[in-house]
A and B are shown apart, each in its own frame.
Chain A
Amino acid sequence: MRHVRALAGRQHVAWWFAGPALLVIAVFFVLPVVAALAMSLTDFDIYALADLSNLRIVGLRNYVELLQRPLFWKALGNTLYFVGAGVPLSLGASLGAALLLNSRLARFQPFFRTALFAPVVTTVVAVAVIWRYLLGTRYGIVNYALGAIGVPAVDWLGDPRFAMPAIILFAVWKNFGYNMIILLAGLQNIPNELYEAARIDGASAFARFRFVTLPMLAPILTIVAILTVAGYFQLFAEPYVMTQGGPLQSTVSVLYFMYEEGFKWWNLGNASAVAFLLFLLIFAVTLLQTRQLRRGGFAP
């Protein structure tokens, strides 16, 4: 009996430990997410913000109208461009850097590791400001370097063809160090015997990479890809600072569109619908990738 009471008492205490954090998450995360779904079915706008009696339920109208707006499709296309090109480039850079750092020939590893990781901890807004100047058309150092090898000046952030590639370049520079560290840990966990065995079988360096490193790294690589895709779908600060969505809306991302829709024009119902569509998109892509992970036989 006393044992039961002690156990019940401990349950009680456990709630005191976990309760505050769970309450915060419930009130400031779960509730708003559910409310976002509800709001996306209403015409919540600046009038409803002033007086809730102006609020009407409109069903799926926000979604239907969104799918008819060219700017939404433009934002979606831009975001897919950023994800589609940015993720492979980022992962390639991360993997390349991790392989170099993991090489037995590499010197000063701690220094190089820290140097390559440094951009990750910097503030997006601040480094985006730096890159805006580095990418400047007349005095930018990028154009100066390109000029030195005979490439004519590019209007990186002012030309709709180049603004998104410039942002992708910036994002790769800023983010590759993060996955590099995770992949480096993965590389260090590959047993040396596998390489020794491959070497005895006469495998070339490339063959060892192709048939030992890649398969052993595949599960981590897939997880890293899933997280990077989800993160890259949330593009916002870069276009906000570097291009303000321009030129010709070539860098308006889905979140940028949501921000303007919600907090510039106060169409909060619409903005919620945008947020939900983005979530569904990320969820679907994550699901697809997870399935790939399972099919590969690396189910966690």
Chain B
Amino acid sequence: MSASPTAQRDAAHTSWAWQVIPRPAAIVVNGLLAAAAAIALFPLLWMLAVSFMSPGEASAYPPPLVPAHPTFANYRELFAHAGIGRYLANSVLLAVAATALSLVFNVMAGYAFAKLAFRGRERLFKLMLGALVIPGQVAMVPLFLLLKHLGLVNTYGGVIVPALASIFGIFLVRQYALSIPDDLLEAARIDGASEWRIFGAIVVPLLSPIIVTLAVFTLLGTWNDFMWPLIVLSDQHLYTLPVALASLSREHVQDNELMMAGSVLTTLPVLVVFLVLQRYYIQGLMMGGVKG
């Protein structure tokens, strides 16, 4: 070590220095992080491993961690006899439809609350924020009766319709839309552009980051939703994956490997969407701070 004492001290302030000489504190911090990550990921990795085991293999002591002879038998069984293809299709259809439709509703409303003056706007917005404290479950019993009256119980519509607009979504878009400069919109108006054209040609492109964020939130939210689809869908053919999985898991209590394959099919799509778009998701989380 020929470096002067000051140079050494400076080097110790850059993270590079710790790569050379790991200090005890660094070992503790990274060791704890690794342990936490192991706890967070282990159940998911175990699910994946067991889903490839042959029936009964996981029920052994000590519990096996990797399949002796990896097999797709559980997946084949799920598609051939448990009708999981149908549930998968239902989940995809409902999540995509609810996301696409609610984006249209929420983005339009969020923009209006940020940039279009109308009477009572601020009061209405405050009321909506206040309503965020009301848990959705309070509405469920009358909502069920309302949808029954409209003939929507036990249909795809019954799942989608209540999800068409959300206060949280409107709030998220509004916060983002506030940053659009008024001059830009005013200039377009002076040029004679209609409000719809301004929305389509100027506003939507400017809002695209928050639209992606809201899309990811809504997609994951509707995909993972359990209680409402459980209530409103009674016909098995319409079940979403979580509802079907809950019902299968009551029938097949002993079929470890089969249930893990079902869990993989349910969680993998959302995990992939999250991994691909996590930047947008995390951003929205930090912006909203806050999901109702």
Contacts and interface: CB of A to CB of B under 8 A. Distances in A.
Interface in A235-286: 236-237, 240-241, 244, 255, 258-259, 262-263, 268, 271-272, 275-276, 278-279, 282-283, 286
A133 B256 contact: yes
Given A107-B30, A272-B142, A286-B133, A17 B109 contact: yes
Contacts of A104: 15
Q: By CB atoms of chain A within 10 A, which of B18, B106, B165 has the most? A: B165
Contacts of B246: 125, 129, 237, 240-241
B78 interface: no
A72 interface: no
A185 B285 CA distance: 10
B214 interface: no
A127 B267 contact: yes
B270 interface: yes
Interface string B118-147: 110100100010010111111111111110
A15 interface: yes
A210 interface: no
Contacts of B281: 121
A5 B220 CA distance: 44
A97 B39 CA distance: 12
A126 B36 contact: no
B33 A36 contact: no
Contacts of A227: 290-291
A220 B220 CA distance: 25
B145 A30 contact: no
Contact of B63 (A97, A123, A140): A140
Contacts of A258: 137
Q: Which of B33, B41, B267 has the most A CB atoms < 10 Å from its CB?
A: B33
B138 A275 contact: yes
A35 interface: yes
Given A31-B142, A185-B286, A124 B29 contact: no
Given A139-B63, A262-B141, A268-B141, A118 B245 contact: no
B210 interface: no
B108 interface: yes
B246 to A, nearest CB: 5
B263 A126 contact: yes
Nearest to B28: A105
B44 interface: yes
Contact of A29 (B29, B139, B266): B139
Nearest to B260: A130
Nearest to A269: B141
A234 B137 contact: yes
Interface stretch (B3-11, B66-74, B221-229): B221-229
A141 B65 CA distance: 10
A181 interface: yes
B190 to A, nearest CB: 11
B282 interface: yes
B290 A36 contact: no
Contacts of A259: 227, 231
B229 to A, nearest CB: 10
B201 interface: no
Nearest to B286: A185
B213 to A, nearest CB: 13
Contacts of B223: 123
Contacts of A125: 226, 242-243, 245-246, 266
Contacts of A83: none
Given A18-B113, A122-B270, A130-B47, A97 B36 contact: yes
A173 to B, nearest CB: 7
10 contacts: A7-B117, A13-B196, A22-B124, A100-B33, A105-B23, A124-B226, A126-B267, A134-B46, A241-B249, A282-B135
Given A18-B108, A227-B291, A268-B141, 11 more contacts: A10-B195, A17-B116, A112-B36, A114-B278, A123-B242, A123-B267, A129-B263, A133-B256, A144-B63, A237-B227, A272-B142
